[in-house]
Amino acid sequence: MDLTVEGLSHRYGDTEVLRDVSLDIPAGRIVCIVGPSGCGKSTLLRMIGGLERPTVGAVMQRGAPPRGSLNPLTFVFQDFALLPWRTVDGNVSLVLEDHALSRAERRTIIDDVLARTRLTDFAGALPRQLSGGMKQRVAIARALAVNPAVMLMDEPLSALDAQTRELLMDDLVALWLRERFTAVYVTHNLAEAVRLGHRVVVLSRRPGRIREVVEIDAPLDARGAMEDVQSHLWGLMRDEARAADAELLDG
Amino acid sequence: MADSRPVPFRGGGFVARPRRWVGVAVIVAIVLAIELGLRMGWMSRLTLPLPSDVAGTFVQLWDTGLLFKHLIPSLSRLAVGATLGALAGIGVGTLIGLFSLARAGLVPLVAAIFPIPKIALLPLFVIWFGIGEPSKYALIAFGTFTPMVVATYGAVDNVDRTLIRMGQSFGLSWGSIVRKIVLPGAMPGILSGLRIGLAISIILLVAAEMLGATYGIGAYILEAGSLYDLERLFAGVVILSLLGVLTSAAIGLLERRLLRWRV
């Protein structure tokens, strides 16, 4: 299943957040969206996932989601969004309970995704007992459980420390090499973007427009720091980021 | 170095630490001081009854079986009234928290009802429900209802919106979101509302029993009070205090069980 964003614009009251964004998200690829803070990248992601309605334009699905996909467009949130009163097991189970699955089927899915995210030993733990990196792995396991067609990741590593971020990036790369999932990955971290993205979309500051789309052809498992790409991206963003930083929040 | 001193510590205090028996010790000390003061003549015998006499009255109540004759109707009134009021309050509070229309329509109404001393409405309840048990249930329920509504909708408002958005993003049904995300998330606030609600329900229980009840702690206290029988009056008051301590402990237990997930 492919997604296309067609001429999307959005405003909150008088503030224009996004202006005429058109974007192609082909199946099996990771599209990273980068941009200065407040450029509307998270808003764009929420619209792609159907959590918010754009003022103008639309997001279209092309083709049917794969068979057995319980929730084609699935989010991974920056702050994990785990239910603190449910165990790791229960948090994954939550998203399966509304589907017509037998107890055994549900059990199989949960065991499978926990194994894939190396969480089997922590199935009975509560979120407060887990480190940030583990919490995000639970959130990823939960996303995998519904067998998504597209994963919508909203700064999934931004709440984590630098070391955990490295580890989880390795995890994501390994996961993609195995499963070739489709993802839209919003981040402000250029290192993450060049490490994980097949295509990096650079948004300008508010109102967010597409500045440039950078294709990165190197395979995910053979990427270094890609400093030339990073500095090219940073060159595109530097002045915008500085201007965005100097803006008054409610101005 | 010639002059080396340890860095002075200045980080202590401002942390609540559990001190289990201090609360009991304070009460025991006060009771002992009163007993001693009355016996030694530092205080006039008219100011307070002798704590040992109150204890004697208590034993007498127990021996004659009168204790349970008063306690059981009171407890059942409390149970029925508080349960009805708490359930209705949680229900209405949840509706207010979930629906803007309910909020717009009911919040001003609740604000208007909250400050009314419910005891003032007892005659009204007697007209509606008769002099028997139902009017007492209604009064207690009504008194528990308002604080529960306010606590519940506040608690629902405070549920982490990102969790609700998460539920929506996974396509959870509305009912699932309410049952599995909103209500558990509101539970801490609902339980602290229950603490206040139950304390109010004990106050109203006594008020209701003072008007037209043969048996019940309120009736017992009223009778003792009109005879200026301070020993019996205080025995009744002690029962009420114990009731308050017990309900508070029960909610504490409930909190530890239901809110184990909290840090």
Q: Do A133 and A190 reside in the same domain of the chain?
A: no
Whether B11 is covered by a domain: the verdict is: no
- B contact residues 124-163, partner A, Cβ 8 Å cutoff: 160, 162-163
Q: Is the CB of A125 inside 8 Å of chain B's CB atoms?
A: no
Q: Do A91 and A123 reside in the same domain of the chain?
A: yes
What pLDDT score does B95 carry?
Answer: 95
Q: What is the mean pLDDT of chain A?
A: 88
The verdict on a CB contact (< 8 Å) between B169 and A74 is yes
What pLDDT score does A228 carry?
Answer: 82
Measured between CB atoms, which of B162, B173, B259 is closest to A77?
A: B162
Whether B188 is covered by a domain: the verdict is: yes
Q: Do A55 and A85 reside in the same domain of the chain?
A: no
Whether A70 is covered by a domain: the verdict is: no
- Residue B233, C-beta contacts closer than 8 angstroms, at least 6 positions apart: B49, B221, B224, B225
The pLDDT profile of chain B, 263 residues, written as one tens digit per residue, is 678 899 988 888 888 787 888 988 998 999 999 999 999 988 888 888 899 999 999 899 899 988 899 999 999 999 999 999 999 999 999 999 999 999 999 999 999 998 888 888 888 888 999 888 899 999 999 999 999 999 999 999 999 999 999 999 999 999 999 999 999 999 999 999 999 999 999 999 998 888 778 889 999 999 998 998 888 999 999 999 999 889 989 999 999 888 888 86
What pLDDT score does A87 carry?
Answer: 94
What CATH code is carried by the domain that includes residue B149?
Answer: 1.10.3720.10
What pLDDT score does B119 carry?
Answer: 85
Number of domains in chain A: 2
What pLDDT score does B86 carry?
Answer: 95
- A contact residues 153-212, partner B, Cβ 8 Å cutoff: none
User: Domain boundary at A107, A133, A148, which?
Assistant: A148
The verdict on a CB contact (< 8 Å) between A84 and B169 is no
Say which amino acid occupies B115: P
Whether B187 is covered by a domain: the verdict is: yes
A4 in helix, strand or coil?
A: strand
Q: What is the mean pLDDT of chain B?
A: 90
Q: Which pLDDT tens digit goes with each residue over A113-162? A: 999 888 999 999 999 999 988 999 999 999 999 988 899 999 999 888 88
Q: Which pLDDT tens digit goes with each residue over A190-237? A: 888 888 889 999 888 878 888 888 888 888 877 777 788 888 888 888
What does DSSP assign to residue A201?
A: E
The verdict on a CB contact (< 8 Å) between A98 and B162 is no
Whether A72 is covered by a domain: the verdict is: no
Whether B210 is covered by a domain: the verdict is: yes
Q: Do A154 and A227 reside in the same domain of the chain?
A: yes
Q: Do A153 and A242 reside in the same domain of the chain?
A: yes
Quick one: average pLDDT of A33-56? Answer: 88
Torsion angle in degrees (nearest 10) through CA of B171, B174, B177, B178: 180
Inform me whether the pLDDT recorded for A7 exceeds 70: yes
User: Domain boundary at A148, A174, A190, which?
Assistant: A148
- Which residues in chain B are contacts of A142 at CB distance < 8 A? 170
Q: Do A86 and A15 reside in the same domain of the chain?
A: no
What pLDDT score does A67 carry?
Answer: 82
What pLDDT score does B178 carry?
Answer: 94
Whether B120 is covered by a domain: the verdict is: yes
Q: Which pLDDT tens digit goes with each residue over A219-232? A: 887 777 778 888 88
Whether A132 is covered by a domain: the verdict is: yes
Strands A182-186 and A30-34: parallel
- B contact residues 183-242, partner A, Cβ 8 Å cutoff: 184-185, 187
**Least CA distance to B166: which residue of chain A?**
A81
Q: Do A129 and A187 reside in the same domain of the chain?
A: no
Q: Do A157 and A131 reside in the same domain of the chain?
A: no
Residue ranges in chain A assigned as alpha helix (H): 41-48, 88-94, 103-116, 132-145, 162-179, 190-196, 227-245
Domain with B112 in it = 50-258
Whether B263 is covered by a domain: the verdict is: no
Q: Do A154 and A133 reside in the same domain of the chain?
A: no
Q: Do A162 and A219 reside in the same domain of the chain?
A: yes
What pLDDT score does A250 carry?
Answer: 59
Q: Do A227 and A192 reside in the same domain of the chain?
A: yes
Domain with A97 in it = 81-148
Inform me whether the pLDDT recorded for A251 exceeds 60: no
Q: Which candidate, B191, B192, B169, B193, places its Cα nearest to that of B181? A: B169
Whether A204 is covered by a domain: the verdict is: yes
Element (H, E) at B27: helix B22-40
Q: Do A157 and A224 reside in the same domain of the chain?
A: yes
Q: Which candidate, A107, A153, A113, A161, places its Cα nearest to that of A133? A: A161
Number of domains in chain B: 1
In chain B, count H helices and then E strands: 11, 0
